[in-house]
C-alpha cells in the first residue's frame, strides 16, 4: 500500500480505496445486503419516516451475524486495514446497511459513530461499500480531520427539524454543530471530503470522524450501501455516558458481550471474529 494512503487515512480520517473489491466480492456483499433487507433485525428502522421514499437502516442484525462474519473473513478488507493501520491483527465488529430508494430519501444526519459505540483508539475503520455508481453529491461526506477533534453528543436521528438534537443530553458531551446550516450560510465553513464512487471502491472511514450520508434525488434515485466495521490492535473500550436509559451504559449493540470491559481495556470479546 502506498504510504500516502496511510497518511491520508491517519490525517483526514477517511480515504477512498479504488477498485479493491472484485465482481465476486461485490456479488457476495450484495447477496448479504439483500438477505439483510429481507430479514430485518431488532435494530432496523426507517430513518426518514414521513417521506414518500422507501428507506431502511439496520445495524448489527443478530440474524445476519453468521453470514456477515463469514463474508468479512472472506473479503480482502481485513488484510487491507491491517496495512492501512499498521496492525498485526484485525477483528470484524458488525454491519450497518442503508437502503435509500425512490429518489427522495433524505440525508443521514451528521454524526460520529463513537457517540453511540464505546470505542477509542486509532485502529478502527468502516468499509463503506456502494453497489451503485454514485456522483459526489450522493455519497458519503466527511469533515476532514474531525476524528482527532471534539467528541460531540450524538444526534437522536429522530427530529427532522433539528439534526443536532442531543442523544445523551444533560451536558454529557458538547452538542453537535449544525453542519448543514453552517454550510448553507458559508460553503467553506467546514472542510468536507467526498468522492464519486464506483462499484468495487471502498471508502475507509475512521468512525470518530464527523460524517453524514447524502440523500438521493432524481439523478441518483437509489443508493444501496453496506458498511462493515473493523478494528485492530490499537482499539480500546471507552464507556459512553449513562444519561440516556435507552442507551444504558454501552449503547444497544453487544451490551452483554462488552459488559466485562473497563475504560482503556483492549477492545476484545470472543463475539468479534478475528479476520487477520
Interface with ligand AKG (CB under 6 A): 96, 98, 108, 113, 126, 128, 140, 211, 213, 225, 227
Residue 251: CB minimum distance to ligand AKG, A: 14
Residue 249: CB minimum distance to ligand AKG, A: 21
CA geometry: angle at 133 spanning 10 and 143, to 5°? 30
Residue 107: CB minimum distance to ligand AKG, A: 7
Residue 226: CB minimum distance to ligand AKG, A: 10
Nearer to ligand AKG among residue 122 and residue 126 (C-beta):
126
Residue 46: CB minimum distance to ligand AKG, A: 13
Nearer to ligand AKG among residue 24 and residue 225 (C-beta):
225
Nearer to ligand AKG among residue 59 and residue 87 (C-beta):
59
Nearer to ligand AKG among residue 33 and residue 170 (C-beta):
33
Between CA 61 and CA 73 the distance in angstroms is: 17
Using DSSP, state whether 227 is helix, strand or coil: strand
Please name the residue that has the C-alpha cell 462493515.
228
Between CA 167 and CA 171 the distance in angstroms is: 10
Helices (H) and strands (E) in the chain, counts: 5, 12
Residue 10: CB minimum distance to ligand AKG, A: 19
Residue 260: CB minimum distance to ligand AKG, A: 26
Q: Enumerate the β-bridge partners of residue 128.
A: 203, 227
CB-nearest residue to ligand AKG: 213
Nearer to ligand AKG among residue 128 and residue 254 (C-beta):
128
Between CA 20 and CA 124 the distance in angstroms is: 18
Using DSSP, state whether 128 is helix, strand or coil: strand
Question: Please, what's the largest Cα pairwise distance for the chain?
Answer: 48
Nearer to ligand AKG among residue 223 and residue 265 (C-beta):
223
Quote the cell numbers at residue 104: 427522495
Nearer to ligand AKG among residue 4 and residue 119 (C-beta):
119
Helices (H), 108-216: 179-185
Contact of 231 with 91, CB cutoff 8 Å: yes
Strands, E assignment, the chain: 14-17, 54-59, 90-101, 108-111, 119-120, 124-130, 140-143, 192-194, 202-205, 211-213, 223-232, 236-237
Amino acid at each position: 500500500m502506498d504510504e500516502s494512503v496511510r497518511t491520508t487515512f491517519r490525517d483526514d480520517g477517511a480515504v477512498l480505496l479504488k477498485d479493491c473489491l472484485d465482481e465476486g466480492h461485490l456479488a457476495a456483499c450484495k447477496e448479504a445486503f439483500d438477505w439483510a433487507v429481507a430479514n430485518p433485525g431488532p435494530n432496523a428502522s426507517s430513518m426518514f419516516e414521513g417521506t414518500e421514499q422507501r428507506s431502511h437502516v439496520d445495524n448489527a442484525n443478530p440474524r445476519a451475524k453468521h453470514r456477515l462474519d463469514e463474508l468479512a473473513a472472506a473479503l480482502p478488507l481485513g488484510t487491507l486495514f491491517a496495512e492501512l493501520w499498521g496492525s498485526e491483527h484485525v477483528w470484524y465488529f458488525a454491519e450497518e446497511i442503508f437502503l435509500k430508494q425512490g429518489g427522495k430519501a433524505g440525508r443521514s444526519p451528521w454524526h460520529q459513530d463513537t457517540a453511540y459505540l464505546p470505542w477509542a483508539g486509532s485502529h478502527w475503520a468502516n468499509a463503506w461499500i456502494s453497489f451503485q455508481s454514485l456522483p459526489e453529491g450522493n455519497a458519503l461526506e466527511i469533515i476532514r480531520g474531525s476524528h482527532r477533534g471534539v467528541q460531540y453528543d450524538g444526534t437522536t436521528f429522530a427530529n427532522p427539524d433539528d439534526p443536532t438534537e442531543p442523544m445523551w443530553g444533560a451536558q454529557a458531551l458538547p452538542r453537535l454543530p449544525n453542519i448543514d446550516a453552517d454550510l448553507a450560510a458559508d460553503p467553506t465553513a467546514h472542510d468536507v471530503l467526498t468522492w464519486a464512487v464506483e462499484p468495487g471502491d471502498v471508502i475507509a472511514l475512521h468512525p470518530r470522524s464527523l460524517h453524514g450520508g447524502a440523500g438521493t434525488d432524481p439523478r441518483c434515485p437509489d443508493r444501496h450501501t453496506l458498511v462493515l466495521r473493523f478494528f485492530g490492535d490499537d482499539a480500546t473500550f471507552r464507556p459512553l455516558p449513562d444519561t440516556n436509559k435507552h442507551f444504558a451504559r454501552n449503547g444497544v449493540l453487544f451490551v452483554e458481550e462488552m459488559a466485562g470491559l473497563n475504560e482503556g481495556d483492549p477492545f476484545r470479546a470472543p463475539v468479534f471474529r478475528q479476520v487477520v
